[in-house]
Amino acid sequence: MSQAKIPRYLIRLLLFLLLPAGAWVWLEIRVAHIPNSYNTKRTYFEKSMGNVETLILGPSHALFGVNPADLRGVVFNLSQINQSVYYDQALLLKYLDRMPHLQQILWCIPSTSLWQSLDLTPDYWRDYFYFHFWDLNSPYISWKSPMRYSYVALYGTDKVLEYLGKGLRVNLSDTIDEHGWLHAHGNSDSLGEGPGRRHAALHSTYFAHEAAYRDNRRRLHEMLELCRSKKIRMILFECPLLPYYKDHLNPKMIAQTRQVLEEMSRQYHIPYLDYSSDSVFHAADFYDDDHLNVGGANKFTPLLQQGIDQAEEDGY
Amino acid sequence: MLFNTFEFLLFFPVVTLLYHLTPRPWRWLLLLLASCVFYMAFIPVYIFILVFTITVDYLAGLGIEKSAGRRRKLFLLFSIAANLGMLCVFKYYDFFTLQVNHLLHLSGSREHLPYLALLLPVGLSFHTFQSLSYTLEVYHGRQKAERHYGFLALYVLFYPQLVAGPIERPQHLLPQLHAPQPFSPGLFSSGLRLMAWGLFKKSVIADRAAECSDALFSHPQRYSGWPLWVGVLLFSIQIYCDFSGYADMAIGSARTMGIQLSLNFRRPYFAHSIAELWQRWHMSLYRWFRDYVYIPLGGNRVSKVRQKLNVLFVFLLSGLWHGANWTYICYGFCHGIMYNLSTWHRISWKAAWTRPFRILFTFLLLSLAYIFFRARSLSDAGYIFLHLLDTSSAVAYGTVLYGFRAGIHFYSHTDWFILLGSILLLFITEGLQEYGFRPEWRLLKLPLWLRWPAYYAFFFALAFLGVYEHRAFVYFSF
């Protein structure tokens, strides 16, 4: 008798859930289509990848600091905030065969990059953005995480509520141009010695994983081998930083990264251009302590082009 | 597995549906397997701790029932030693070793005892006490020894209350496990509603309040005056919503299977004395200590002074039950003192008009005692106590409001609005319940076209106003 009540109750429960489930599905679809720096960049990139001659990889330093329009040829900036070496490699492997004109890769490797694994940082949610918007299924994607299944969970319900308040008419990628460069105008509120020190201390803690260092070193070698075999020129570089940021990073991290990159530069006969202590850059060129603003990027990119040309003349 | 995770969102409907579809004689097995999966989601190998204590208690229960005189007591001691032994090894060994090593160091010795540094099994204190209450009840003749190992295992492992209570008595839970109730739509819906309310307390209130209180208690030295008060008061709200939210979800999820668990909280922040608070807060633990420690020590049959000392001893033990740290011992000591004082002065404060003041005063005392509970060390607790009334900072901040902002700068206006609004909703609901008005019953009497939108609004609030960062329940670590 009581068992007979179950189907009736289930139908009632399903009827009750129909409306919220429908509303949720609608919301998921709408949220999935919100332009963000991942899906926008992918759209721009896939449109132009057939012609791309130079590809820029790396984390936010390159995203803010290198304006592809100031470099020669068809250039696309594929870097992203906190993009780890893992994702640099994954993106290149995914698209390499579809870039027939690719001649060179400019790979920005800051001193924190080699020690970083995205899943071990507070930005681990970015793994799920690569999963959803670049179709990159990394080992860091957990089946237990709702972010794997839901775009609402991916953005966070508080953010989605905010977007709902704006009628879901939001564009999170309006500072990204069609070459993948992020335009950051002026100076951020956090530009200053105090925040710079804190920022550096934070980076030295978040990005200090020995296991990640070993894996990233291996990935670096694999990438360089691959590029050599495909006859793609690789240039390793680092963007300008404000001294009060760089001086407060973990010195062991800086020294070891520099040593590894110089070693690779010799081993693979590729240039390594380090602008992190370049004194021509001042606070006015920075958005915050480790990211150039539009003016700074327009000052730095021609310098980078000169550096690349010079390296070519030097036989690299 | 936590109740506020995606895993549980999958686990719960599957287990509950299977439970109702499984023939009644086999439901215990399904529940036992599900409970094992639930527990093993933390540290799988620790299931053997439970297997060990269940086996010991199973044998001890049978032994107690079959024997008489001194042998009965020996079986009981065997069970107590095994259960408390586990608790001591995992929870207290390193704490006592640390104290001994300090003493050795002070005496100039270079010797030191080694630490075990074991990870604490979740809910160890809860299931140990529940397991112990089985053998104690069999010993006192209030419960027959369980002959079916599976049912005893399920009594200890029953997943809704396995890791944070309520601590059940065998005579209440075992018969329900033996005789599963038929599916009842009313009970099922009521269970779901209670779970939703518990999740609201945990995710919307406790976890949002935790963002502020965690920051303040992690680095109390950065604050003084009003910001410290904000942290302390928010922690009182957090701990209540966290723990009672868990209890609601536990009771609710058991209720969907037709199993009634004991009430663990009865609007404790409406208590008008510390003595009354303990009849409303973590009631199952209070009853455990009363029946198995306080009464055997003499209860109310001894002299007044002895009685007060016994109360103090019981609260010291309950402090230690929470954790192996001097802060918890001080927390227990504070409660012991406050309990004794409140039972002395209860009569003179009985006028009805004083009730709101007594409620506020009790809440304030409790919040101050929580400083010991939440502080990382006694020195942190000392700093907080000394700087709560630091007027220099209040003057420096200029206004009280600015002081608030300085302490909670990480909260946006929206966060504050959500937090204070939800706390208000909680206290209005509990206030109405306190005076006999049952908002949930009123809701049930509403026509469907009003009731369902009300549920939808609540679910919307739950989904969008909650903080879902997989923050564990505070009492999981006890």
Comparing CB atoms, the residue among A5, A20, A158 nearest residue B185 is A5
Extended strands (E) in B109-245: none
Helix or strand run (H / E) with residue B152: helix B149-157
Confidence of residue B260 (pLDDT cuts 50, 70, 90): very high
The larger pLDDT score, comparing residue A193 to residue B208, is at B208
Within 8 A by CB and 6+ apart from B307, the residues are B298, B299, B300
Mutation site for B-interface testing, chosen from A155, A157, A160, A168 by largest number of B Cβ within 10 Å = A157
In order of B23, B89, B289, the CA distances from B296 in angstroms are 43, 26, 10
Cα distance between residue A135 and residue A132, in whole Å: 5
Q: Name all domains of chain A by residue range, CATH numbers in brackets.
A: 45-122+174-313 (3.40.50.1110)
Question: Which position has the token pair 């599957």?
Answer: B14
What DSSP state is assigned to residue A277?
A: T
Residues of B in contact with A21 (CB under 8 A): none
Cα distance between residue A109 and residue B287, in whole Å: 62
> Which pLDDT score, from 0 to 100, does residue B4 have?
81
Report the helix count and the strand count for chain A, using DSSP H and E.
12, 7
Residues of B with CB under 8 A from a CB of A: 5-7, 20-21, 182-185, 188, 414, 452, 455-456, 459-460, 463-466, 468
Helix/strand/coil for A55: strand
- Per DSSP, what are the bridge partners of residue A76? A55
Distance from CA of B8 to the nearest CA of A (A): 10
> Which pLDDT score, from 0 to 100, does residue A115 have?
85
Cβ–Cβ gap A2/B455 under 8 Å: no
> Which pLDDT score, from 0 to 100, does residue B397 have?
45
The radius of gyration of chain B's CA atoms, rounded to the nearest angstrom, is 23
For A310, other C-beta atoms within 10 Å of its C-beta total 12
Cα distance between residue A311 and residue A295, in whole Å: 25
Q: Give percent of chain B with pLDDT exceeding 70.
A: 93
pLDDT per residue rounded down to tens, chain A (316 residues)? 456 778 888 888 899 999 999 999 999 999 999 999 999 999 999 999 999 999 999 999 999 999 999 999 999 999 999 899 999 999 999 999 999 999 999 999 998 888 888 888 788 899 999 999 999 988 888 888 889 999 999 998 888 988 998 999 999 988 889 999 998 888 877 777 777 777 787 787 777 777 888 899 999 999 999 999 999 999 999 999 988 888 888 888 888 888 999 999 999 999 999 998 888 998 889 998 889 999 999 999 999 999 999 988 887 7
Confidence of residue B264 (pLDDT cuts 50, 70, 90): very high
B425 and B434 Cβ atoms separated by less than 8 Å: no
Cβ–Cβ gap A144/B456 under 8 Å: no
Distance from CA of A87 to the nearest CA of B (A): 25
Extended strands (E) in B290-398: none
Comparing CB atoms, the residue among A20, A144, A153 nearest residue B459 is A20
> Which pLDDT score, from 0 to 100, does residue A308 have?
92
Cβ–Cβ gap B182/A3 under 8 Å: yes
Comparing CB atoms, the residue among B5, B6, B185 nearest residue A9 is B185
Helix/strand/coil for B107: coil
Q: Which residues of B are catalytic?
A: 322
> Which pLDDT score, from 0 to 100, does residue B400 have?
42
* ∠ CA B258-B261-B262, rounded to 5°: 150
Residue pLDDT, tens place only, B350-362: 677 888 888 999 9
Nearest CA in chain B to A150: B6
Cα distance between residue A289 and residue A190, in whole Å: 8
B470 and B4 Cβ atoms separated by less than 8 Å: yes
The larger pLDDT score, comparing residue B476 to residue B122, is at B122
Tokens of B361: 């005063």
Cβ–Cβ gap A157/B456 under 8 Å: no
Residues of B in contact with A146 (CB under 8 A): 6, 468
Cβ–Cβ gap A9/B464 under 8 Å: no
Cβ–Cβ gap B183/A2 under 8 Å: yes
pTM: 0.82
Comparing CB atoms, the residue among A3, A6, A16 nearest residue B452 is A16
Distance from CA of B10 to the nearest CA of A (A): 10
Comparing CB atoms, the residue among B21, B185, B464 nearest residue A157 is B464
pLDDT above 90 (res B101):
no
Cβ–Cβ gap A6/B20 under 8 Å: yes
Residues of B in contact with A20 (CB under 8 A): 456, 459-460
Residues of A in contact with B463 (CB under 8 A): 157
Residues of A in contact with B470 (CB under 8 A): none
Cβ–Cβ gap B456/A3 under 8 Å: no
The larger pLDDT score, comparing residue A77 to residue B90, is at A77
Tokens of A239: 């963007």
Tokens of B456: 């939808």
> Which pLDDT score, from 0 to 100, does residue A116 have?
82
Helix/strand/coil for A83: coil
Cβ–Cβ gap A144/B6 under 8 Å: yes
Give the start-to-end residue ranges of the domains of chain B.
Answer: 6-180, 186-273+346-477
Cα distance between residue A237 and residue A276, in whole Å: 9
> Which pLDDT score, from 0 to 100, does residue B392 have?
62
Nearest CA in chain A to B183: A2
Distance from CA of A107 to the nearest CA of B (A): 34
> Which pLDDT score, from 0 to 100, does residue A10 have?
87
Average pLDDT over chain B reads 87
* ∠ CA B15-B20-B21, rounded to 5°: 95
> Which pLDDT score, from 0 to 100, does residue B396 have?
43
> Of the given ranges (B128-142, B294-308, B411-425), which has the lowest mean pLDDT?
B411-425
